[in-house]
Amino acid sequence: MMRLRCPSCGSHTCVNSAEYVIKAAPTLYAKCASCNDLVLDKMAPINLSDISFDDLRCKNCGRRPLDAVMAHILSLSVGQENQPRLTLRQVGTPLLSPGVPTYAPPHVGCQNLLLLTKQRIIADASDQILEQVSEVKGVIYGDMKRVIGLADGHAVPYTCRVLAGCDMRADLVTSAYGQILVYKSQSKIHIEHDNIAKMTKLGMLPVAGQVVLDALAGPGTLGLMSALMGAQKVILNDAWLPAVENAYLNLQANREILGIKMLHRVSAKKRAHGRTPNLYGVAATDNTFIELYHGKFEEFNIQDSGIHLILLDSFPNAERYFIDKAEEIRKRYPRIEVVCI
């Protein structure tokens, strides 16, 4: 099993290869024959004295129902209060790590959960949560309603604060062409919820044999899938350095899945958000050449790049700006197809 060094915490336990996670995914959060069930109303007050946290951990597989884990987190935050004011929904957003499809309430194992919270009372107990709730690998403090990262080249970046543990997690992304694993430093990268719709739209595009620019690449989801779909060349570009660093990590994690034979990082000056795109890294399979750039999409040299297809996956509330940009490109380069995903 290939493990990579985690760029967030430096350990060799956070980042697995895509093929390892794909193999483990079907049973990763499934309950075994000995598991206990617990499903709580997320919006209603709960009585913590009614929940036996230790008894709910399966003696066979070591997992607990997600609601039991969230209730345990709440209990550590409120101390002796048996009926806290917060509901489970208000505790925060639990993010499975890695995020894979689940078809029943998940049962969570050791370090399989990242908690994103905006509650000060939860944040204050973050060290205790990490120490006593084995399922939690990290606690992040921030506003879940805001776009995490750099919304566009003119915005001020917004990041969350890692209070305890590590913020690295991954999502398994599925299309008709196969699966890839997308790692992200979750305190600095926006949470994606609609990959199914995006993959469906991407799957209908003429990608095979084309030169594709994933102009707002983020951690590389659309670009890596384009490589899996047989693009002749894939260009990944993003103005936010943490996203570019995650995209390079994802080239490493998906090396076997994509059939990458060569992967090389190019030395470049580090700027949190870049302007003129600079080459950050290159990779190659038997059929696809991949370039990774750090810089503003608006500054990218489209004319000399031989691009056939441009993908624009913008953040919420920035769609209008990039729809207008797409129309400008279509008028200037009528042979290039521009698609807002």
Nearest CA to 164 out of 217, 92, 235 is that of 92
What is the DSSP track for 146-213? SPPB-SSTTSPPB--EEEEE--EEEEEEEETTEEEEEEEETTTSPPP--HHHHHHHHHTS--TTSEEE
Q: Which domains does the chain have, with CATH numbers?
A: 3-165 (no CATH), 193-340 (3.40.50.150)
Q: Tell whether the model's pLDDT for residue 154 goes beyond 90.
A: no
First to last CA, the chain: 34
Q: Tell whether the model's pLDDT for residue 162 goes beyond 90.
A: yes
CB atoms within 10 A of CB 262: 10
Res. 267 pLDDT band, cuts 50 70 90: low
Render pLDDT for 294-305 as a digit per residue (tens, 0 to 9): 999 999 999 989
Round to whole Å and give the CA distance between 236 and 17. 20
pLDDT at residue number 315 = 85
Nearest CA to 132 out of 53, 61, 224 is that of 53
CB atoms within 10 A of CB 1: 8
- Give the range among 59-63, 145-149, 206-210 with minimum mean pLDDT: 145-149
Render pLDDT for 298-332 as a digit per residue (tens, 0 to 9): 999 999 899 999 999 998 878 899 999 999 999 99
Q: What is the pTM of this model?
A: 0.94
Please give the average per-residue pLDDT across 286-297, as a whole number. 96
Render pLDDT for 23-74 as a digit per residue (tens, 0 to 9): 999 999 999 999 999 999 999 999 999 999 999 999 999 999 999 999 999 9
Percent of the chain, pLDDT > 90? 84
Query: Where do the H-state alpha helices sit in the chain?
Result: 18-24, 66-78, 88-91, 120-124, 126-132, 195-203, 221-228, 241-253, 255-258, 319-332
